[in-house]
Amino acid sequence: MKDHGLNAPSNFIRSMISKDISSGKHSGRVLTRFPPEPNGYLHIGHAKSVCLNFSLASENNGACNLRFDDTNPEKESQEYVDAIKENIKWLGFKWNGDVRYSSNYFDHLYNLAMQLIQNGKAFVCSLSAEQSREFRGTLTEPGKNSPDRNRSIRENLNLFKQMKGGEFSDGAYTLRAKIDMESPNINMRDPIIYRIRHVSHHQTGDKWCIYPTYDFTHCISDAIENVTHSLCTLEFEDHRPLYDWILNNLELDSLRVICDLSDSDMTFVLPQQTEFAKLKLNYTIMGKRKLKEMVEAGLVDGWDDPRLPTLAGMRRRGFTAASIRNFCEIAGVSRSEGTVDLSMLEHCVREDLDQCASRVMCVLNPMKVTIRNIKKGEVENLSLQNHPKNESMGTRIVPFTREIYIDKSDFEENPAPGFKRLVLGGEVRLRGSYVIKCEEILRNGEGEIIELICSADRETLGRRPEGRKVKGVIHWVSAVHGQEATLMLYDRLFMVENPEAKEIADYKEFLNPESLSVIKNCMIEPSALEGRERKHYQFEREGYFILDIEGENMEYPVFNRTITLRDSWGK
């Protein structure tokens, strides 16, 4: 992993934290948190937040908590919790202590809600969801007070206890903060902070039938954990006044007691929310709702479909954690919304794989070649470098036999000018092997070419042929020892730059029908299947590939193409 310390690019959040440390705010501490809602899989946009929170903590000798803000059990599951933890580990980060859950604090949250009621700052409301929308007002018109806003404190306390006791059905009552129905910020118009939901929770089971809202929970959880810097994306900017209102209208001593700082000289300071622009990529959908819709509708092959921007999908496709971290660093942190070109991510992936991927040969469209001056049954084990620029990656054994396969595209009976591969009567070099000459073409009954008869110059292994120059070099695989494989070739999932644009009524109409091509009966050299490890390979001239997790135990292995060798989009 790259060093994100003094050499990391500066941004407004780094500058803010440096000032806070210099001033002694938070006793010079830095404690961040990554707080996902477990209602889906992490995607590349979340990766930016993961990298930012964990890296800022690390470079300032601080720590980063992993806390699931699990306040909506109807949309959450343990599957999402497990996937998120796995993805963060894969990215190379380690969270502070145990995994935390906002549900760990449900007892504290309930007591603090009771405190707001006792102090006249919250009330139980009987308006339905539809009525609440009518009373809320609009961006240009103020809202109206609920008829229940002036309930007595005693009645509010009793009703809230009854809500907790399960005496009411879903939607019968809510608990709302008493702020200002005429506020220009709609989030401050007496927002709901508790609602009734008779739903089992993936962490607390059936203990609760009332659940706090995200806005009420998030800021208090930050305070309970003594987080110093609460970093959020820009859509939460309008929620910051509510974040601050809740914390500033609770009794500070009660929060300090929950933090249990009695044996510490640490100064308790309320956390500070700071917003940054989220990461957006062209030709990509980031909205979790739409991603989930595609998964559930079968438009893609699950959350880890290699065409999706989910970290699980990118990992399955062969993207490296290092390339994603590097991409997030290059994309930068700012307060200005913008869209990053997907080619930047592709560049980061190619750059990393070029350095770490072993080279092997794979023939996508096999054509049989018989080399007549190689004896039947003869096997010559050739030693080829795994990487042409990195000797430390070692060598591999590639068996050379009388019968081999080359790609059909590497032979032309009637070549165009400038064709530098195999032709009848012409020569090419087999990668890491001999120069061969095509001497005869064999056809089937329909006149199609089915085999080439060639001869090898046995004096050209590692040497140039005498008195002639061979321009072309082609890849090949032994017909005897090569392994049959299926290749999955992926392209961008959408045909338009912004499939989430407002003018697009249905993003599904712009799905790329050629986002996946399946090529069967390919032939790959045997070294690529040793141990069936999920190693990164460069299939020479074809791209970067990795063994698919679904194909590890299949008779014929399946390889996913991570990315092409060069960007061919739009050409």
CATH number for the domain harbouring residue 444: 2.40.240.10
Q: What is the CATH number of the domain that holds 170?
A: 3.40.50.620
Q: Which residues of the chain have pLDDT under 70?
A: 1-9, 260-266, 551-554, 568-571
Phi-psi region of 137 (alpha: psi -120 to 50; beta: other; left: phi over 0): left
Residue 254's φ and ψ, nearest 5 degrees, are -70, -35
Alpha helices in 332-408 (DSSP H): 342-356
Answer yes or no: is 1 within a domain. no
Based on C-alpha coordinates, what's the Rg of the chain? 31
Are residues 81 and 106 located together in one domain of the fold? Answer: yes
End residue of a domain, out of 251, 276, 301? 276
Considering the domain architecture, whether residues 170 and 219 belong to the same structural domain is answered as: yes
Q: Which residue do the tokens 């009954």 mark?
A: 445
- What pLDDT score does 10 carry? 80
Does residue 391 sit within a domain?
A: yes
Domain count across the chain: 3
Tell how strand 358-360 and strand 536-539 pair up: parallel
Domain end position, chosen among 276, 308, 343: 276
Tell me what pLDDT residue 264 has. 60
Q: At what angle do helices 106-118 and 214-224 cross, to 10 degrees?
A: 110
258 Cβ neighbours under 8 A, 6+ residues apart:
105, 108, 224
Q: What is the pLDDT of residues 347-397, one digit of tens each?
A: 999 999 999 999 999 999 999 999 999 999 999 999 999 999 999 999 999
Asked, for residue 282, whether it belongs to a domain, the answer is no
Backbone angles phi, psi at 553, to 5 degrees: -110, 15
Residue 220 sits in the same domain as residue 254 = yes
Give the model's pLDDT for residue 568.
Answer: 55
Same domain membership, residue 174 and residue 121: yes
**495 plus 444 within the same structural domain:** no
Q: Are residues 68 and 173 in the same domain?
A: yes
Answer whether 536's CB lies under 8 Å from 320's CB: yes
Q: What is the pLDDT of residue 6?
A: 42
**342: in domain:** yes
- 6: in domain: no
Domain assignment present for 14: no
Q: Is residue 17 part of a domain?
A: no
Q: Are residues 120 and 196 in the same domain?
A: yes
Quote the domain boundaries for residue 306.
288-356+486-563
Residues 381 and 319 in one domain: no
Q: Which residues, in sequence order, are CB contacts of 474 under 8 Å at separation 6+?
A: 406, 407, 410, 421, 422, 428, 429, 430, 431
Closest CA to 313 of 170, 150, 516: 516
Clarify whether residues 262 and 306 are in a common domain.
Answer: no
CATH number reported for the structural domain that contains residue 350 in this entry: 1.10.1160.10
* Chain length of the chain: 571
Which of residues 481, 502, 535 is at a domain's end?
Answer: 481
* Domain co-membership, 171 together with 124: yes
228 shares a domain with 92: yes
Q: Does a structural domain hold residue 13?
A: no
Same domain, yes or no: 469 and 501: no
Residues 6+ apart with CB under 8 A from 242: 177, 179, 187, 188, 191, 215, 219
